[in-house]
Amino acid sequence: MLTEDDILTALRDCYDPALPCNVVDLGLIRSIAVAPDPDAPGAGIRGVPQKHRIAIALTATSPTDDAQAQLQAQIANRLAGLEEAGETTVRIVTEPPWTPRDITPAGRRTLGLDGNPGLVQIR
């Protein structure tokens, strides 16, 4: 069974086009929905892994169409590599807007925002 945690782990390989950090640690992911896909090829055949429909909503750090298209393609391509992933929908949302407060502690370390007294800490 494909889980939200499996998807989040995979999405750690997807990076924002503007910031050198993955989309999970930047806090861009707003929601993930995973549901079995009874219409997927091989559904119901013994020994064939159950495929799942995946719907992801995320916000972007950049409002440009190119950056958003790159994020959508990167995520869809990465999730296509999961054996149990079937149809994937990636939707860009504008509410709530992304702010640096959404960055996780791991993301702050990646971006060099923790432990550097010359930078403003984001909490």
Give 65's contacts (C-beta < 8 A, 6+ positions apart): none
Residue 119: pLDDT above 70? no
DSSP state letter for 22: B
pLDDT in tens, 23-75: 999 999 999 999 998 888 877 788 878 899 999 999 999 888 999 999 999 99
Q: What length is written for the chain?
A: 123
Residue-range domains of the chain with CATH: 4-107 (3.30.300.130)
- Mean of pLDDT values over 85-97: 93
**pTM for the whole structure:** 0.85
Tokens of 59: 């916000």
